[in-house]
Amino acid sequence: MSAFPLPPGSTIGILGGGQLGRMLALAAARLGFDTVILTPEPDACASRVATRSIVAAYDDAVALEALSLVAGVATFEFENVPALVVEQLQALKVEVAPGPRALAVAQDRVDEKTFLNGCGAATVAFVAIDKAEDIGPALDRLGAPALLKTRREGYDGKGQTWVESHADAAAAFARLGGKPSILEARADFRREVSVIAARGRDGEIAAYPIGENHHENGVLRRTRAPAHVSAETQIQAETIAARILNGLDYVGVMGVELFELADGRLLVNEIAPRVHNSGHWTLDGCEVDQFEQHIRAVAGWPLGPTTALARVEMENLLGEEIDAWPALAAEPNARVWHYGKGEARPGRKMGHVNRLSGL
């Protein structure tokens, strides 16, 4: 096991080769760390900026051993890392952060909401659904329409469907492939917001100002941050984040997606045990961005300041929208981030732009 704080010159292992891994690698480099990316993709965009890459399946034993020989600590850019992989890395004496408990909780929507409610972070009411027949009684309890989601592996609006009425129950269950699911009460929310928070190895917690999120077709379109919220709302979000982070004995950055209700209460929609798309505004809005913050946390460094230095509107550039880069590069207060991905497939996250204005 490594000694913390991990000194510059050490290597940080990152599972996953997408844009989050790329921006983590860039942040690690600023602090003097080498990086090794484990990804099944031969030409991943994170690998193009990392010191080394291992191209293999995440559960490839030889690859994990190779990673363990160089990495002082391992982390990941996506939450569906198999629990087995984390166990294998730990057996190879590699510290993994965030730990297996955070992964397990984030991988199963029923476990996630059960944990959240247990640590004092409110969510919508929900019922676990194992078979189509469970939906009827659940609908009676939660009211219709209600949102049916697979317990595992949904993201960006995939793996979910509305159940409009009792008559729709069997069809809805079939639409999701008949998998173990969760039925969630509809949240009557005013806004979707999120808070990006970090917890260090010493238990120190730091949260960024709340961002306000707008989705299109289940995919994040833009985040405005700091959002115009009251100090009470910011404190409420930070309290929720702290309960979750402490409850999981978490190390690293977490994205906490929240519903803001009409009465001002915040409900947790879901948590992402990693850096988060709605935190990309910090790249240009804060002294220490979420990527460096995550590296600091997992490396056992003190956390950095989370104060906003500017107001930022972050807009995702999906598919061909990236072709607007020449115009964006000429906008005086726009900062373009291009992920260096090859093909601009429809809906693919190719980059983002941060538009800055005064606080």
Binding site for a second copy (CB under 8 A): 5, 7-9, 22, 25-26, 29-34, 48-51, 284, 287-288, 296, 301-302, 304-305, 309-310, 322, 325-326, 329-330, 332-333, 335-340, 342, 351, 356
Is 133 or 331 the residue whose CB approaches a second copy more closely?
331
**Least spacing, CB of residue 7 vs a second copy, in Å:** 7
Is 159 or 200 the residue whose CB approaches a second copy more closely?
200
Measure Cα distances from 313 to 220, 221, 283 in Å.
12, 10, 12
Rounded CA gap, 272 and 250, in Å? 12
Could you tell me which residues come within 8 angstroms of residue 64 by beta carbon, excluding any fewer than 6 positions away? 38, 85, 88, 89, 92
Is 22 or 113 the residue whose CB approaches a second copy more closely?
22
**Least spacing, CB of residue 212 vs a second copy, in Å:** 22
Could you tell me which residues come within 8 angstroms of residue 339 by beta carbon, excluding any fewer than 6 positions away? 18, 19, 22, 45, 349, 350, 351
Query: What six digits make up the tokens of 334?
Result: 């726009």
**Least spacing, CB of residue 332 vs a second copy, in Å:** 6
**Least spacing, CB of residue 73 vs a second copy, in Å:** 16
Beta bridge partners, 162, equal: 147
> In degrees, to the nearest 5, what angle opens at C-alpha 159 toward C-alphas 132 and 42?
140
- Write the burial class of residue 93 (CB in 10 Å: 0-12 exposed, 13-18 middle, 19+ buried): exposed
Q: How far apart are the first and last CA of the chain?
A: 43
Is 146 or 350 the residue whose CB approaches a second copy more closely?
350
Is 132 or 356 the residue whose CB approaches a second copy more closely?
356
Are 75 and 15 within 8 A, CB to CB? yes
Is 259 or 339 the residue whose CB approaches a second copy more closely?
339
Are 188 and 158 within 8 A, CB to CB? no
**Least spacing, CB of residue 118 vs a second copy, in Å:** 34
**Least spacing, CB of residue 32 vs a second copy, in Å:** 3
**Least spacing, CB of residue 16 vs a second copy, in Å:** 17
Is 273 or 285 the residue whose CB approaches a second copy more closely?
285
Is 12 or 193 the residue whose CB approaches a second copy more closely?
12
**Least spacing, CB of residue 338 vs a second copy, in Å:** 3
Are 243 and 236 within 8 A, CB to CB? no
* Half-sphere CA count of 125, side-chain side, radius 13 A: 12
